[in-house]
Structure 1
Amino acid sequence: MFFHPINETLSLSLLHPRMAPELFRLVDDNRGHLSPWLGWVAHTASPADSAEFIRQTLHDHAEGKRLICGLHDHQGRSRLIGLVSFNDIMPATGRATLGYWLGEQWQGRGLMTLACQSMVRLAFEHYDLHKVQISAATGNTRSRAVCERLGATLEGVITRAESVNGVIHDHAVYGLAREDMA
């Protein structure tokens, strides 16, 4: 089981099937917050959907394709507060794509920046990758602020990159190169 402490109150862990009810509750409680940016939210209708997602992520992790981690807050009782992931790990090109989301009540505390910094270190030190890429909808200012706090370089904008619930989004594409992190 993958477990990675970030600090005394935050950690990352590989998702486990027993987390499905908690993951579903977190998504369900944050539908309004997540839905403008993440199309999969509309397709998460029950804990069984979260269980299937976890099953697929574990399969993909075993094949070396993805690393989907739960972000846990350990102040008081331990609880799942978001996800941070390598949505694609591409050893042939030495690159991974980083994705993340956080429950609304935990925003504004720098937690996602800390989690993403840990994932970037994992990409470079554990996976021996050379680049981490992040795409964020141009209108998603909070997500883009994480990219900027990480020191990522805005590499360009892809117009009409994604349709989420009928809304077309352009994506700002950011990159972090291993040699720039030294």
Structure 2
Amino acid sequence: MFKYVIDGDIELKLLDNCHIEEQFALIQRNRSYLKQWLPWVDGIKTFGDVAKSIKISKEQYVGNDGFRCGIWYKGRMAGIIGYHNIDWSNKSTSIGYWIGEEFQKNGIMIRACKVLVDYAIKELGLNRVEIRCAEENFKSRHIPEKLGFKNEGTLRESEWLYDHYVSHIVYGILKDEWMKM
């Protein structure tokens, strides 16, 4: 099982059933904040909904098709990060993440993202990592920009988010670029 200690404060752990209540509580505390950017929030109403999500993540892990990790900061679950899927034919993946509002501005997500990019390139042997962010989500966009990803363009009105369309900025980094940093 994937587990990575980033430093004394931050740890990544593959999501498991023992994390259901903690993840649900984190979503509940941040529900209105997360709904600004994420389409799945209203679909999480019970512990069972979180359990289904974790089951899918574990199946992805077993099938070598990506996974999601909880991010723990000073012993508390702060957010989630993971690979949406892995395209082995093209040696690429995309990273998705979210963090509770109370944990922002601690550099947590940048450090967690760096670990997943490193792992994708150095351990999984992938050539390309992509991150897509809502055009207006400047906090999220800051992460790939700070990590040296290239802005590869805008997918106009690419996601229906409850009652409106959202455009996404596509960021990408290639193995050669990452290894030079």
TM-score under structure 2 normalisation?
Answer: 0.97
Matched, 1:43 2:43: yes
For the 8 Å contact 1:157–1:171, the answer to whether it is kept is yes
Matched, 1:21 2:21: yes
How many pairs align?
Answer: 179
Q: CA deviation at 1:9?
A: 1.1
Gaps of 5+ in 2: none
Aligned mate of 2:90, from 88, 93, 102: 93
For the 8 Å contact 1:153–1:174, the answer to whether it is kept is yes
Aligned residue in 2 for 1:143: 140
Aligned residue in 2 for 1:12: 12
Aligned mate of 1:162, from 144, 159, 162: 159
For the 8 Å contact 1:39–1:164, the answer to whether it is kept is yes
Aligned residue in 2 for 1:3: 3
CA distance in 1 between partners of 2:8 and 2:71 (Å): 13
For the 8 Å contact 1:36–1:165, the answer to whether it is kept is no
Q: CA deviation at 1:140?
A: 0.5
Aligned mate of 2:171, from 143, 149, 174: 174
Q: CA deviation at 1:126?
A: 1.0
- Amino acid corresponding to residue 71 of structure 1 in structure 2: I
Aligned residue in 2 for 1:122: 119
SS at match of 2:168: strand
Which portions of structure 1, spanning 4 or more consecutive aligned residues, are displaced by more than 3 angstroms?
A: none
CA distance in 2 between partners of 1:46 and 1:65 (Å): 26
Q: CA deviation at 1:66?
A: 1.5
- Amino acid corresponding to residue 23 of structure 1 in structure 2: Q
CA distance in 2 between partners of 1:18 and 1:52 (Å): 13
CA RMSD of aligned residues (A): 0.8
CA deviations 1:104-123 (Å, max 9, x no partner) are 00101111000000100000
Q: CA deviation at 1:86?
A: 0.4
CA distance in 2 between partners of 1:72 and 1:109 (Å): 12
CA distance in 1 between partners of 2:76 and 2:104 (Å): 15
- Amino acid corresponding to residue 169 of structure 1 in structure 2: V
Q: CA deviation at 1:171?
A: 0.5
- Amino acid corresponding to residue 100 of structure 2 in structure 1: G
Matched, 1:61 2:61: yes
- Amino acid corresponding to residue 105 of structure 1 in structure 2: E
SS at match of 2:40: helix
CA distance in 2 between partners of 1:79 and 1:40 (Å): 22
Q: CA deviation at 1:136?
A: 0.5
CA deviations 1:6-34 (Å, max 9, x no partner) are 11110111001111111111011101110
